[in-house]
Amino acid sequence: MPLPIPPLVHVDDALIAADKPADLLSVPGRGPANADCLAARLQAIYADALVVHRLDMATSGLIVFARGAQMQRALSIAFAERHVAKGYAAIVDGLLNEEAGEIDMPLIADWPNRPRQMVDTVHGKPSRTRWRVLARDPERGRTRVELEPVTGRSHQLRVHLQAIGHPILGDTLYAPPRVASAAPRLLLHASRLQLVHPGNGTPMDLRSAPPF
């Protein structure tokens, strides 16, 4: 029996926007046990679907796939040159004092503890995240935030929020045990992608409501 296709937000002859569930790989991992992924499920229906970008396995939300090599090149350039605006929703531990802010901390792979990343002010690559408070829950001591990654480093949002003392709930990789066990999954969702359609040049505003 074929594996289920996650919800599709947009499909045309240039691209596919899918809504990835949490705990599904974006692309195949190492070994046959990790072959199941969003890319493979889409390619079973759309043979020309090609990878442009990824989400962490634990993160849910919007991913765009290109239809064919020409569209893949165009979309890859748009992502690389930061012509795509990305927005995420998250719930973090603690109550943020300000209404909005920016985290500017260089990141590098923590090689002895891969796949973890870490802040490194000497050797790290420039990494910047904008954040905005959506709602505070004083009773439970948590804050719902909107996150905008200006750069696209691996695990950037997770490391940056942990580094300012507000780790994301359910983050088993970076949060302390109390916060990691406070949710059944990582409460991080790719909720918005704004880009120019690579085929016809029209602006696209793709949205996905957080499932938490």
Check if CATH label 3.30.2350.10 holds for domain 8-83: yes
Residue 46: phi and psi, rounded to 5, are -115, 95
Whether 1 has a pLDDT exceeding 70, the answer reads: no
**Average pLDDT rounded to a whole number, residues 69-81:** 97
Domains of the chain by residue range: 8-83, 87-188
pLDDT at 34: 85
What gap in Å lies between CA 20 and CA 37, rounded to an integer?
A: 10
Q: Is the pTM of this model over 0.75?
A: yes
85-144 tens-digit pLDDT: 999 999 999 999 999 999 999 999 999 998 999 999 999 999 999 999 999 999 999 999
31-50 tens-digit pLDDT: 887 889 999 999 999 999 99
Report helix, strand or coil for 66: strand
Share of the chain above pLDDT 70, in %: 99
User: Which positions are annotated as active-site residues?
Assistant: 56
Of 3.30.2350.10, 3.55.10.10, 2.60.120.10, 3.40.50.2300, the CATH number of 87-188 is 3.30.2350.10
Position 122, amino acid? V
What gap in Å lies between CA 3 and CA 181, rounded to an integer?
A: 29
